[in-house]
Amino acid sequence: MRKRIIQLSLFLLLLAYLPLSTLCRPFVLVLSQDDLSDPTAPPNHDDATTDFDDFPDSESKPDSDLDPGSWSPIFEPDHSFKNPNPSPNELNHYYNAVGKMVEAASKGEVGVMEEAVAEIEAAAEAGKPHGQSVMGFIYGMGMVKERSKAKSFLHHCFAAQGGNMQSKMALAYTYYRQEMHDKAVKIYAELAEVAVNSFLISKDSPVIEPIRIHNGAEENKEALRKSRGEEDEDFQILEYQAQKGNAGAMYKIGIFYYFGLRGVRRDHGRALWWFSKAVEKGEPRSMELLGEIYARGAGVERNYTKALEWLTLASRQHLYSAYNGMGYLFVKGYGVEKKNYTKAKEYFEKAAENEESGGFYNLGVMYLKGLGVRRDLKIATKNFALAANAGQPKAFYQLAKMFHTGVGLKKNLPMATALYKLVAERGPWNSLSRWALESYLKGDIGKAFLLYSRMAEIGYEVAQSNAAWILDKYGERSMCMGESGLCTDAERHQRAHSLWWKASEQGNEHAALLIGDAYYYGRGTDRDYDRAAEAYMHAKSQSNAQAMFNLGYMHEHGQGLPFDLHLAKRYYDQALEVDPAAKLPVSLALASLWVEMIDSLPEVYPKVEVWVEDVIMEEGNATILTLIACLLTVLYLRERQRRNNAAVAIAVEIAAAAHPQQPPPPIVQEAF
């Protein structure tokens, strides 16, 4: 394994952040030899006082614990968790006010929204951080309050100091947009650590990214169909097969409930029941998940001994990811007599040899900290790179930390900030996406818009895109609320423009295209052909055919770009190369372009006519041109005769060689 790792070149490592949805932007990180810092590092003698990978033991906790002030008690009340220090009146008023705000957004009731905002504002003025966080959102939106970035920022600052995680996300994103990486990196690092703390020990849950509810100008029906939870026909068929005793179906149903996939609400109790049924039929993947459940105490009392037993059974069924969990228990000394780094390394290597990302990650941690091996930052970096290339979130965190601190990699705050942000967006506040999608699927557009707007504020590009699309698609049905009631058309256009702009900053090509349209047509902003061209150029750089077509049109008509028919044709041709479906509009545009060129001929024709009269039709010049034409004709005919004679001569030689007794045929010369 060590030999294989060393053989990997560090001159180019591509780390792709693989999204679950087909619509999420890939994130590519290029590492070169120059990124490496001094690989020599002193051995680590302090491993006994630190956690294996800097994260405390993961436990199953409700979102309200990991994300104080979360709206989960409104959307996903969890009665299985009890607050050890109940304070009935402390949060009740807050959640009642937020619930009233959500319902007002759902029904478009401005009066009810004003009451809710007044209650939340009272909580904020009393110093309640969660109330301050929501007021930051309200001022940022301009919802029954004047829109004020300054007041929004101030409220989020106070809320973040009080421990509100979503306000910390909002602040970090604000600094990130302003390229204040020294401030953004510190907040994102803290948020990323919170996100990673809840991950599993042997293999991480599937990446649950926000679903993009649109695909360009159309609704993304396929993605929405797969997100209907228990109402989805495919899920119901799978559940029926599980009830009939199909072990594979039992496992999949358990996975849906355990991770909360495809719109299914998380339910560890149901997941445990289905996994237990599946292992009765010898299903190995369920054995591994039972090991995870007992190791984390998810829905059951934590029991490391049982966890090791189930993981061991799974590994005997050649489920190599289970080796990660076993190695973790040995490196921590859980469920075994004592810590055993040698045994742990052996298990991690078995997992890595079978392309398990967790194996690469855990080996990276051992080499980073010098646990049971000689500390080697270069090998640690390579292992983290391989794990991140497979989408392992903890590996992204470790690489971000290395860029942040300059240990193993040269200090690079912009890169560290971007990587921390990727990990932080997997935190429990991501639940907003699930609730927004559920609302949208139920036809509650107002509630969906409110939830996506909250996510947009804290930096999720997909949420920014979804909220903007709802405004453009549904208009008044979006229940968008402005300072003095429901939004006017102008307010909706302005708000959609702001959301599309933020999404375009994060690489959304469709958003950049729509920004160009907004400037071109003057929707939600003043008409500005120069800025429209700039936005189209940004979308074109991401191979957007529509943007290429628009640039061609602007060159053709000299709008925001120089009048240039040649460049116009080039952009039209590029649009067709990128998207063959653009053949009809491109053909029409090219026809229009030829008409433009023909229309310009009258300006040239008089000059050509004068030249013909002055040069060609002059008596002496006409005679000379006639003689030259005759001479060229004679030369052409003589060259033709020469080639014909050469061909006949070759044919005679071939015939003579084949039949030496026969006289050669006469050569007939062509006369002229």
Burial class (CB in 10 A: 0-12, 13-18, 19+), 189: buried
- Give the three-class secondary structure for 201: coil
Mean pLDDT of 617-624: 63
Rounded to the nearest 10 degrees, the angle between the axes of helix 284-296 and helix 304-316 is: 160
pLDDT at residue 589, as a whole number: 81
- The C-alpha atoms of residue 635 and residue 356 are separated, in whole angstroms, by 77
Tell me what pLDDT residue 64 has: 65
Higher pLDDT, 635 or 52: 635
End-to-end CA distance of the chain: 84
Best-predicted range by mean pLDDT among 295-304, 498-507, 632-641?
Answer: 498-507
* pLDDT for the residue 639: 78
Give me the numbers of helices (H) and strands (E) for the chain, helices first please.
32, 6
The confidence score (pLDDT) of residue 614 equals: 64
Does position 562 have pLDDT exceeding 60, yes or no? yes
The reported pLDDT for the residue numbered 48 is 41
Write out pLDDT tens, residues 432-458.
Answer: 888 898 888 888 999 999 999 999 999
User: Environment class of residue 486 by beta-carbon count within 10 Å: exposed (0-12), middle (13-18) or buried (19+)?
Assistant: middle
Higher pLDDT, 648 or 122: 122
Q: Per-residue pLDDT averaged across 580-601, rounded?
A: 76
In this structure, of 105-114, 429-438, 618-627, the range with the lowest mean pLDDT score is: 618-627
**Span 335-351, average pLDDT:** 89
- Segment among 248-252, 423-427, 463-467, 600-604 with least mean pLDDT: 600-604
Neighbours of 506 (CB within 10 A): 18
* pLDDT band of 221, cuts 50, 70, 90: low
Q: Which residues pair with 409 in a beta bridge?
A: 36
What is the mean pLDDT of the segment spanning 534-556?
85
Residue 62 has what pLDDT? 62
Considering only residues 210 and 148, tell me which one the structure prediction assigns the higher pLDDT. Answer: 148
Asked whether the predicted pLDDT for residue 74 surpasses 70, the reply is yes
- 376-418 pLDDT, tens digit per residue, is 999 999 999 998 888 888 899 999 999 999 988 899 999 999 9
Angstrom distance (rounded) from CA 574 to CA 422: 33
Q: Which helix (H) or strand (E) holds 538?
A: helix 529-540
What would the two tokens of residue 618 be?
Answer: 């002059």
Instruction: Identify the CA nearest to 444 among candidates 99, 106, 100.
Output: 106
Provide the CA 602 distance to its chain's centre, in angstroms: 53
Rounded CA separation 109/479 (Å) = 9
